[in-house]
Each structure stands twice: as structure tokens, then as C-alpha cells.
Structure 1
């Protein structure tokens, strides 16, 4: 589809979206340097830190957009998919799950998907409350984003060599982040289930999920 001059092109050049393009470049650079932790970790970490910058810019400059919301999650998934595939042979399973949830949320819940869980089970509502900006939500997001990087550091002995963490501290950190990731999994499975329900219901296709 050809973009009309003005609207579409202007949105694509919003500053938050430019940050998104920079993040994509950093992810690919990290991929190319994955065998060198000294290069990989800073590149991947910077891409993750900028994840908060684009949202702040969008609100500060009044440049929120459906494209920006889509791009933000796309880059998140791209970075985590890359890392999971580097960590384990079965890492593609985690990537597949996350991309499936991405499709489910953005095809039926839309750009405001984070605020569309008011009628969900209590745990899901608690996780998604205030756009994930609660202690529980931060824990879940930490597991989602932090666990693969933590495991990369562990596999390369960087938790001890760089951070000087004792083995028991590393184990506790792994358990805490894994627990957050498991809670994220519960929300992901709920998103997939409600999407399947939406697809198999008699409702019109253009009706958005409100569960």
C-alpha cells in the first residue's frame, strides 16, 4: 500500500519511531557481535534501555501513534527472539510464543492492548494494571526482558567475572526472573486463548476484544 504524502510518512518520522529504528540497528549489531560479550552486552543493553526512551518521547512530544505502538513491541520481540535463539536450541519455541501473542494482541486488541484486560481473571488484571507499572507488572516485565540476558551472562560466566556474584546469588536471580517469566506466560496464554475465542465466535470481525 502506498503511503499518502504527509500523514503516513510523517508518523514514520516521529522521533519515538526514529528511536525504534535505532533500536533495530542495535539489535542487528548485537546479533553480529554475539560471540564477543564485551560488544554484545552493551549493544543489547542499550537497545533495551532505549525501549523506555521511545515511550517517554512519545508522551512528551505528543507523538503517540498506532505505528509506534506496533513498532515498539516488534523491536522487543525481535531482540528477545534473537537472544533466545542464541541461548538454546529450543529457544525458537519461546520466540514463536511471543510472536503469536504479538499477532493476537495487535490484530484484535489494537494499539491500546495494555488497557484491554478489565474483564480478565484476577491475576491477569493484576499483571496488566496501570500498563504494567505496578510492582507485580515490573516483576513480570523484568522476567520477560531480563531473563534471557541474565542467562546469556550466566552461560558466559559474566555474572561472576563481571559482576562478582556468588553462585547462590546467581541462582536466586535466576529463580526470581524465571518466576516473572512464568507469570508473563500466564498472560500470554490468556491472550492467545481470548484471540482463539474471538476467531471462533459469531461476532463480527471488526469488533475489538474487551476481555
Structure 2
């Protein structure tokens, strides 16, 4: 008698759990987490009095913040989780960390008003990021559609807040550490971050074909300057960014005026029957 035939149950295909995070989204989120770690490490170095290393950590966080979005687009790993994590990391790295570093460096000698200025920098940075997240799905974004940003972005705001530190690293002038000078400057930077001023979006800029060589030469020059004189280069970059704000406001006003003229010259729709 032949043994009965054993039936093999068909194996079910393995499926990824619904709502799981794709593997390609891990890389950009890891870069964002490294930026967050770098920003928090700046606070640690500031507590120990190593202010140069503290500022370097925030600058490294800025570089990583510029990379995570590009890595996500390259790997097609954009996700809502990554967007929320990026905003949280930016609020800490470019809001909380610079505020505490500046407070420990200068503003602690003016406890009441110094802490108020540090709070404004941290909270206004968070408010700016909240406004940005709230406007992601908005259909009408005049600044973005014209290639501009609204207010000073968080990484640039952190760099501007560090301008007295950059100059102090170079000159060691005691006046640059005076909280009566640092506190108003910190408040001004905080207000620029939540302002409605149109600022240049460097990702939307396009170079002309006939100046590509000059642009490469400029990048090489800036890179060499950053290696040989980092704090002078950082201070010069902050001053150049501040000087660009009036030009960005005027450029946006011109674009808005041209758009308004084009809408006025458009023919009216025919009357409906």
C-alpha cells in the first residue's frame, strides 16, 4: 500500500507591514539625526567653555541639514516622517542650540534681558518652522512661486546670530561680548526669521552659461578662504547675506509688479450666455 501523498501548503508571500518606513528613507533620516546630534553637541561644548567647537558643531549641523533633503530626493525617500524630523532637528540645532551658546558666551551676565533675547531666538525659530510646515500644502505661496523665501531661513538665522562670536574669535575685542550689544542683535535676528521679507532662495538661482567658469573660480576662492581664515570668511558671509536682503526685497517687488501688470493686460473672458 502506497503511503498517502503529503500536501504542502502554499507559502504566503511576505509582505511589508502597512505603514512601515521604506528602507530608502532611512539614509536621509540618519543624516537629519546626525545634524541633530551635532547641534546638541554644540551645547555640550559651550557648557565646557569651548565656544569655537560649539559654533563648529552648529555649522556642521547646517551642512548636514543641506544634505538630507538632497539625499532624500536622490533616493526617492521623501516621507512625512522625514519632514517632521527635519523641522524638529532644525528647531533644536538652529534655534535652541545657538540661543544657549550665545547665552553662555555673553548674555548670562545680563540675566533677565539676556535670557529674554535667547528665548526669542529659540522660540521665533520654532515659530518660523511651524509657519513653513503649515504652508507646505497651501496652494497660494507668492514668495515660493517667485523663487524667494519668506524671512531668513533657520540655518542662516543661526549664522547671523553668531556674527558677534565670529568677530570675537578674530579680534577678541571685549566690546563684542558685551550683552548690551549682543542682546539687541539676537532680538533683531530672531525678528528677521519670522518676518515677511522676501529673501533669496539659493536653490532657485540659475547661472548664465557664460559665467560658469567665474562661478567655479569663486567657489574655489571661498573654499580656500574658509580653510585658511574660517572665522573671517564666516563673518564676511554673514555681512554679504545681510546686504543681499534689500536686493531680494526689491527683486521680489519687481516680480510682483510684473505679475500684476501681466494680470491686468490679460484679456477679459467672454460673457457667458
| 160, 165, 181: which one aligns with 1:147 | 160
Shift of 1:6: 6.6
| 187, 190, 193: which one aligns with 1:184 | 193
Equivalent pair of 2:42/2:101 in contact (CA under 8 Å): no
Shift of 1:54: 0.1
Q: Is structure 2 residue 47 aligned with structure 1 residue 47?
A: no
Compared CA separation, residues 19 and 76, structure 1 to 2 (3 A): same
1:49-198 pair list within 5 angstroms: 49-79=63-93, 80-87=95-102, 88=107, 89-90=115-116, 91-103=118-130, 106=133, 109=134, 113-114=135-136, 116=138, 118=140, 125-126=142-143, 128-129=144-145, 134=148, 137=149, 140-141=152-153, 143-154=156-167, 157-160=168-171, 182-187=191-196
Equivalent pair of 1:26/1:44 in contact (CA under 8 Å): yes
Instruction: State the distance in 2 between where 1:104 and 1:94 align.
Output: 15
Higher relative contact order (CA 8 A, sep 6+): 1
Compared CA separation, residues 143 and 78, structure 1 to 2 (3 A): same
Instruction: State the distance in 2 between where 1:9 and 1:74 align.
Output: 18
Shift of 1:105: 5.1
Shift of 1:72: 1.1
- The two structures have a TM-score, normalised by structure 2, of 0.47
Compared CA separation, residues 186 and 159, structure 1 to 2 (3 A): same
Give 3-state SS (helix, strand or coil) of 2:121's partner: helix
Q: Which residue matches 1:192?
A: none
Compared CA separation, residues 94 and 11, structure 1 to 2 (3 A): farther
- Of structures 1 and 2, the larger Rg is shown by 2
Equivalent pair of 2:72/2:78 in contact (CA under 8 Å): yes
- Measured on the aligned residues, the alpha-carbon RMSD in Å equals 3.6
Shift of 1:104: 5.4
Instruction: State the distance in 1 between where 2:189 and 2:71 align.
Output: 27
Compared CA separation, residues 65 and 6, structure 1 to 2 (3 A): same
Q: Deviations over 1:113-155 (max 9, x none)?
A: 3462626xxxxx33x446xx54xx398236523212224334x
Q: Deviations over 1:130-184 (max 9, x none)?
A: 6xx54xx398236523212224334xx12446xxxxx9xxxxxxxxx99776443
Shift of 1:73: 1.4
Instruction: State the distance in 2 between where 1:117 and 1:94 align.
Output: 29
